[in-house]
Amino acid sequence: MQIIPAIDIIDGKCVRLTQGDYQQKKIYNEHPLEVAREFEAHGIRRLHLVDLDGAKQRHIVNHKVLEAIASQTRLDVDFGGGIKSDEDIAIAFDCGAKQITGGSVAVKDPDTFIHWLEQYGDDKIILGADAHNRKVAVNGWQEASSLDVLDFVRDYQQKGVEYVICTDIAKDGLLQGPSYELYQEMLDAIPSIRLIASGGITTIEDIVNLREMNLSGVIIGKALYEGKIKLKELAEFL
């Protein structure tokens, strides 16, 4: 199971939101590259980088942050937030992303998302399945859809998706544990999927439990920034 720290970007700065609420923003570092280098120094190999400005504005915004991290570290960066068009995804890959995560575009413009799967390959395109009360949310979690998250993931798995990042928005940023039941249900229903858990991971025990469930990865955000999980504690999982 891969350990994947998250860096969320607003105005070029490393921030965290609570339950996706842009009004509940906390700045942790004004220099995301410093944060990424610290992760790399502790043996981390992969990074989840989210352009929150892009998610809100519906086009890529903070690609310069991506370019700096990709060019000045050895981290494999998966990048998401505001990737809606062929131009957006080209910018992301040109700036050094190893993978991109598409959520809103998969809901709003499935033909484009499927085209990306075919053009770039299922190892490059991650499906972002962010849900609140099981309904898929889009556009930086500002808008709800009527899609059930399990049906959404199953449908895209049948269309060629291999990697899925699933965030239970109700858990995100609260440091109260991840959505074990949802992840287990998804793994039981779609066993071939490479599922990456995101949202609510708070303790080392959470990571152990998710590993025992055979998830492919776990994204850790606020727990790292608030010191609930120490980078050195992650050594045994790397």
**Residue 210 pLDDT greater than 60, yes or no:** yes
Supply the residues annotated as catalytic.
8, 130
DSSP strand pairing (99-102 vs 125-132): parallel
- Among 24-28, 34-38, 86-90, 187-191, name the one with the lowest average pLDDT: 24-28
3-class SS shares of the chain: helix, strand, coil, % to 5: 40, 30, 30
Question: What domains can be seen in the chain, in order of their start residue?
Answer: 2-237 (3.20.20.70)
Is the distance from CB of 166 to CB of 152 less than 8 angstroms?
no
Q: Which helix (H) or strand (E) holds 172?
A: none
Is the distance from CB of 26 to CB of 32 less than 8 angstroms?
no
- Alpha carbons 234 and 236: distance in angstroms, whole number: 6
Question: pTM for the whole thing?
Answer: 0.94
Q: What is the pLDDT of residues 134-190, one digit of tens each?
A: 899 876 566 678 899 999 999 999 999 999 999 988 887 778 899 999 999 999 999
Please, which residues have CB within 8 angstroms of residue 229's CB and are 6 or more apart in sequence? 201, 202, 203, 204, 207, 220, 223
Rounded to the nearest 10 degrees, how much is the dihedral formed by the CA atoms of 231, 233, 237, 238?
40
